[in-house]
Amino acid sequence: MTRQEVKQVILHQCAREKRIVLRNIILVAILATIVLALLWIYALPNLILYNQQAIAGVASSDFGVYYKWAIPVGLLLSLIYPAKKLFDVFQREKNTHKVFDMLQQNTACTIVSENKAYLTTIPLHWIKIRLNPVHYLHISLNDRGYELPVVEELAPEIKRVLSQADLGHYESIMDQLYGDAAPAETEDAPVKKQPPAQPLPSLTDFHRYAEAEFSGQLKDMEQGRGSVQNIFVVQVFIALAFVGTMVWFFVSGGSAMTDPADIFKLMMTFVGFSSVVGVGYYFFYKRKISNGNTNFTAFKKSVFSRLVHYINPGFEYIEKAHIGLREWLHAGLFTEENYSITGGDQIIGMHNGVPFQSCNLTVTYRPNFTSERDPDDCVFSGNYFVARFHKTFPTPIYIHPRKGVFGAINDSTTTSYLNTEGNKILLEDPDFQEQFNVYCDDQVVARYVLTPVMMERLKAINKRNKGKLYMAINQNNIVMATNSENATEVGNAAYGMMFTKIDLALLDRIYQELTEQLAMIDTLKLNQALWKK
Q: Report the chain (533 residues): mean pLDDT per 10 consecutive residues.
A: 92 95 92 89 79 67 61 75 87 94 89 88 77 92 91 92 89 87 46 56 88 87 82 79 72 57 66 71 62 68 86 89 92 90 91 90 84 81 88 85 62 82 87 91 85 82 82 86 80 70 87 82 66 44
C-alpha–C-alpha distance, residues 46 and 267, integer Å: 35
The sign of the CA dihedral 416, 422, 425, 431 is negative
> What residue segments make up the domains of the chain, in order of their start?
3-162, 184-392+475-533
Residues near 190 by Cβ (< 8 Å), separated by ≥ 6?
A: 168, 172
Query: How many CB atoms lie under 10 A from the CB of residue 448?
Result: 13
User: What's the whole-model pTM score?
Assistant: 0.79
In the prediction, which pLDDT does 490 show?
A: 72
C-alpha–C-alpha distance, residues 280 and 286, integer Å: 10
In the prediction, which pLDDT does 510 show?
A: 86
The radius of gyration of the chain from alpha carbons, rounded to an integer in Å, stands at 29
Beta bridge partners, 358, equal 347, 385
Q: Reading across the β-sheet that carries 109-124, which strands appear in turn? A: 109-124, 127-141, 144-150
C-alpha–C-alpha distance, residues 379 and 364, integer Å: 5
- The helix or strand, by DSSP H or E, that contains position 326, with its residue range, turns out to be helix 325-330
Q: Reading across the β-sheet that carries 477-482, which strands appear in turn? A: 316-318, 340-351, 354-365, 377-388, 477-482, 469-474, 397-401, 436-440, 423-425
User: Angle 389-393-395 (CA atoms, 0-180°, nearest 5)?
Assistant: 135
Helices 3-42 and 44-60 pack at an angle, to 10 degrees, of 100
In the prediction, which pLDDT does 191 show?
A: 45
| CB-based burial label for 126 (10 Å; 0-12, 13-18, 19+) | exposed
C-alpha–C-alpha distance, residues 343 and 236, integer Å: 30
C-alpha–C-alpha distance, residues 417 and 81, integer Å: 39
Query: What SS3 class is residue 295?
Result: coil
The CA-atom distances, in angstroms, between 224 and each of 26, 277, 528 are 49, 19, 48
Q: Answer whether 499's CB lies under 8 Å from 229's CB.
A: yes
C-alpha–C-alpha distance, residues 257 and 265, integer Å: 11
C-alpha–C-alpha distance, residues 148 and 14, integer Å: 8
Q: DSSP letter string over 172-215? A: HHHHHHHSSS-GGGGTTSSPPPPPPP-PPPPHHHHHHHHHHHHH
In the prediction, which pLDDT does 102 show?
A: 93
Q: Answer whether 358's CB lies under 8 Å from 385's CB.
A: yes
